[in-house]
Structure 1
Amino acid sequence: MDTLQCTVSDCGVPVILRADMNSVERWDGIGVERRMRLQCLSPYSRKGSGVILCQKDGQWKTDILCGFEFQGHFYRFHSEATTWEGAKARCNSFGGYLVELDTGNERDWIFTTFIAPNFRQEDCQKFYDCGSWTGGRVRDGELTFVWSRGGNPIGNNLWYDGQPNNNGDDQDCVELTRQSGLLNDRGCLTPNAFICEWDP
């Protein structure tokens, strides 16, 4: 009986964040059409087809994202700290946008799913320590905070007491804080984690 041997394609072994390489099917492993189909690791949900394709230039191309779903929307937490603009650009590069909290229920779910598990309480002594960027920002030429993608004003019930306060006259962006689970205005150049969101 012949022994089958797998060979790595000219694209190399794919590395897809939170994807399960053990979910590759037999036909995928053979390299039919130079593509594979992946699933996301538990407990993540998949957005996209799950197909990754080895292109002629030797690079893998995929539309797979692994994250969490809530009320029809898809979310992904990024722990690498960056500025508000950097976070917005990263979310846009994945086809999403910085999270916009439409309700208290959504805020509570985001806090429980992403903020609390990723920041230790003892590392976050002040209410503004350990924040994650949201899509909130001051509307140009005004003192009104709005969601940057939709343009809707941010509800007063989402803010920490006394916020927004524009301390130092340079707090034009909005973070969700670990200490309170509420919003705080912050300087846009502050390095923070961030959360991306996708519509259904």
Structure 2
Amino acid sequence: MELNKILLFAVTIVGVLATPDERRLIAVEQETYIYQGHKYTFHRERVTWEEAAQICSDEGGYLAVLEDMAETEFIAEAMAGGLCFFHPYQNIWIGGRYVDGNWMWIPTGLEIPSKIGSDGYPPWSINVRRANLCLAISRLFITRPVLSDLNCDRRRNFVCEHGCAQLKDSDRQSWNPPLCSETFSEIGDECSLVCKDGYELTGSATVSCTADGWNGTGGLNKIPICKTPEEVGEDFVNKINSTLNGIAANMLFLLDESVSVSPQQFEMEKYFVKSVAQAFPLSVNRTAGLITFSHVADVDIPLTQTDTCVFVDSVGNVVYTEGGTSILVALNLAIDEIEKNAVHNTTLVFLVTDGISTTDPAPAADTLKANGDIVFTIGIADYQRDQLEPLATVASDGTPNFFGVSSFEVFLRIAQYLNTTYIDENHINCD
């Protein structure tokens, strides 16, 4: 070939590769790219298809799903090193697998067309039908993509996609809008979980799609689910156990007795306190106290009680009053009571309310948390989630110590679960 033809050929290649289009790669970090609102991370380790799928899942993503030719070409370009030929990949696992006679995208459950369309998608290299086949993408002539089948036990590099995986409806729950559970979502989409009768929401009420996956008040890729009251009670116990973790601590309960709480419902709140105290028995290493509040707050039981049954009896004798709702007043009194009477360095503060505070309680909650105390917030019935959830301390798993239940009847079931499950276990009998 003549020299001028060789030079022309080289310039043509560079020109084609450098031309901006809708597939232009946006590198956000080494070997990670953004395309159409999804993030793709390439992995150097060589693993089986199953291992690759698990690693992607552990990262909050899934093996990449290539929905059209543009996305397929984008992956091939990224495999070439972002058009700069740095650390190129030749052959990697993606999210397809041969199942019951058809090629399927496993993360979405959608069938992959068996015939190549007019646009070249999917760019099959072969069409083989035998067991234990998984899908890989190779690149020919720098960035030309080819899909090929490999035994799933072969070891290859792989690419994880971090968009927003399809959410799941069940006999307990459904997603709104319905499209959230019918397909993958794009960045900016919001989805809300609706629990069916008999189940309670745990986690964010709404999640938003980001390039890193679903995000909500419960944390990144912490997908909310609906649980039975008993399961919520178990989560509550686990939260307390992980917080205490063998340390000496105080427990201070703040009970709402405003006019929106009936005398019968106030008795349910007291029953809850007694159940928690007996599930986590008091001793010299665990003291307890009680504050009641409406528009004013009172220390009904100082934060010095070390005898479980004495504390339980004292809770039973607390008298109901009524008034407005000021969580700020309750938290400020909690700060004062902890300063005066706390025996140990850490206090678990349990705020129980069904109402909306007429004053902003956030500064007082921030003070408690800054002092090293742990705030749990429990909303019942007509509580305001946007107010209560931020008051709670964020646990080590990244989720807030917030629990919301739909009614006092559900709240009572949780207390009864604690009572029957853990009091017998601790051999506590204060009757």
User: If the length of structure 2 is used for normalisation, what is the TM-score?
Assistant: 0.27
After the TM superposition, which residues 178-189 of structure 1 pair with which residues of structure 2 at under 5 Å, given as runs?
178-179=139-140, 180-189=144-153
Q: Deviations over 1:60-91 (max 9, x none)?
A: xxxxx982110111100012110000100110
After the TM superposition, which residues 170-185 of structure 1 pair with which residues of structure 2 at under 5 Å, given as runs?
170-179=131-140, 180-185=144-149
Matched, 1:45 2:9: no
2:128 to 149, 160, 165: 165
Query: Structure 1's 92 and 143: CA in aligned 2 closer, same or farther, altered over 3 A?
Result: same
After the TM superposition, which residues 69-84 of structure 1 pair with which residues of structure 2 at under 5 Å, given as runs?
69-84=34-49
Partner amino acid, structure 2, of 1:184: S
1:135 to 82, 92, 95: 95
After the TM superposition, which residues 112-127 of structure 1 pair with which residues of structure 2 at under 5 Å, given as runs?
112-115=77-80, 117=85, 118-119=87-88
1:101 to 55, 63, 66: 66
- 1:138 Cα offset (Å): 1.5
- 1:147 Cα offset (Å): 0.3
Distance 1:137 1:178 in 2: 19
Distance 2:108 2:41 in 1: 19
Distance 1:83 1:95 in 2: 19
Q: Deviations over 1:162-190 (max 9, x none)?
A: x2314xx3451000012351110110001
Distance 2:152 2:108 in 1: 19
- 1:113 Cα offset (Å): 1.1
The DSSP-based 3-state class of the residue aligned with 1:182 is strand
Query: Residues 160 and 183 of structure 1 are in contact (CA less than 8 Å); yes or no, is this contact kept in structure 2?
Result: yes
- 1:115 Cα offset (Å): 4.3
- 1:110 Cα offset (Å): 0.7
Query: Structure 1's 191 and 92: CA in aligned 2 closer, same or farther, altered over 3 A?
Result: same
Partner amino acid, structure 2, of 1:71: Q
Query: Residues 98 and 131 of structure 2 are in contact (CA less than 8 Å); yes or no, is this contact kept in structure 1?
Result: no
Q: Which runs of 4+ in 1 moved over 3 A?
A: 115-120
Query: Residues 123 and 145 of structure 2 are in contact (CA less than 8 Å); yes or no, is this contact kept in structure 1?
Result: no
Report the equivalent of 1:51. Answer: none
Unaligned runs of 5+ in 1: 1-42, 47-64, 121-129
Query: Residues 170 and 186 of structure 1 are in contact (CA less than 8 Å); yes or no, is this contact kept in structure 2?
Result: no
Report the equivalent of 1:151. Answer: 109
Query: Residues 83 and 188 of structure 1 are in contact (CA less than 8 Å); yes or no, is this contact kept in structure 2?
Result: yes
Distance 2:127 2:91 in 1: 15
Q: Deviations over 1:115-172 (max 9, x none)?
A: 464447xxxxxxxxx4100000012xx11001001011113321334x2314xx3451
Computed over aligned residues only, the root mean square deviation of the Cα atoms, in angstroms, reads 2.3
Query: Structure 1's 107 and 66: CA in aligned 2 closer, same or farther, altered over 3 A?
Result: closer
Distance 1:95 1:150 in 2: 15
Query: Structure 1's 193 and 94: CA in aligned 2 closer, same or farther, altered over 3 A?
Result: same
Distance 1:119 1:98 in 2: 19
Query: Residues 119 and 178 of structure 1 are in contact (CA less than 8 Å); yes or no, is this contact kept in structure 2?
Result: no
Q: Deviations over 1:82-121 (max 9, x none)?
A: 000010011001000000000100010110012464447x
The DSSP-based 3-state class of the residue aligned with 1:178 is strand
Distance 2:159 2:80 in 1: 10
Query: Structure 1's 94 and 66: CA in aligned 2 closer, same or farther, altered over 3 A?
Result: farther
Report the equivalent of 1:40. Answer: none
User: If the length of structure 1 is used for normalisation, what is the TM-score?
Assistant: 0.57
Higher normalized contact order (CA 8 Å, seq sep 6+, divided by chain length): 1
The DSSP-based 3-state class of the residue aligned with 2:75 is helix
Distance 2:31 2:155 in 1: 24
The DSSP-based 3-state class of the residue aligned with 1:158 is coil
Looking at CA atoms only, which structure, 1 or 2, has the larger radius of gyration?
Answer: 2
- 1:196 Cα offset (Å): 0.3
The DSSP-based 3-state class of the residue aligned with 2:145 is coil
Share of identical aligned residues, percent? Answer: 27
